[in-house]
Amino acid sequence: MRRSGRDTFIRIASLTPSASGSGYTVTRDIATKPQYPFTKGCRFYAVAALELLDAPGEYHVDSDSGLMHFLPPAPMTDGTDVVVSLLDTVVSATGTKHMSWKGMTISVSRGTAFDCAGCTNVTVDSCVVTNAGMSCLALGGGGNNSAINNTVFGCGTSVSGHDIAGIWVAFFSRYQR
């Protein structure tokens, strides 16, 4: 096997599994020339190809048609809801002071579901905050902010601060599990 440390992205016309199942036949779109020539035996990887969907939870968005194809993470029955969010944040507050959020459900975002930056004396109490690509609940900046008695789950990751089960709490703020 040849080794290659080069990367290049090209559009492919087709990706077909071999009859033996041990490889693929790749045909590139002639309109997009690779930066480096294909060399027999070199490794490659494919991204954003509908043909690669093979595991529950995977999806592909066709950028030309806008259609999303996905393999559900669990079997679906009639009446099963499928929710796709285009929102980066459900609630976004900057510089807010003396505000309380109580007993609400805040859910489904690509980024942080509830993001309060530079806020002072903000309380999030007895809320359900869930299904976010980043932290579910972020309270930071000004200080004396509180996250009390919340149910938080289905969160992605936080890149800074103190990430406590999907909650990002800045210094001098308080949270209660």
Decide if pLDDT at 124 tops 70. Answer: yes
Which of the four pLDDT bands, split at 50, 70 and 90, describes residue 127? very high
Ranges of each domain in the chain = 91-176
Which of the four pLDDT bands, split at 50, 70 and 90, describes residue 85? confident
Which of the four pLDDT bands, split at 50, 70 and 90, describes residue 5? low
Residue type, 37: P
**Which residues, 6+ apart, have CB-to-CB distance to 39 below 8 Å?**
2, 4
Q: Which pLDDT score, from 0 to 100, does residue 106 have?
A: 93
Find which of 34-38, 56-60, 100-104, 147-151 is predicted with most confidence, using mean pLDDT. Answer: 100-104
**Degrees (nearest 5) of the Cα angle 164, 166, 171?**
45
Q: How many residues does the chain have?
A: 177
Decide if pLDDT at 90 tops 80. Answer: yes
State the average pLDDT over residues 122-149: 86
- From residue 7, alpha-carbon distances to 11, 42, 44, 63 in Å are 13, 11, 9, 22
Q: What is the mean pLDDT of the chain?
A: 78
Decide if pLDDT at 148 tops 70. Answer: yes
Decide if pLDDT at 167 tops 60. Answer: no
Q: Which pLDDT score, from 0 to 100, does residue 36 have?
A: 74
Instruction: Tell me the pLDDT tens digit for each residue of 49-81.
Output: 787 888 888 888 887 888 888 888 888 888 888
Q: Which pLDDT score, from 0 to 100, does residue 162 have?
A: 45
> pLDDT: is 162 or 143 the higher one?
143
Instruction: Tell me the pLDDT tens digit for each residue of 29-45.
Output: 888 877 777 777 776 66
Q: Which pLDDT score, from 0 to 100, does residue 91 have?
A: 93
CA gap 116, 137 in Å, rounded: 8
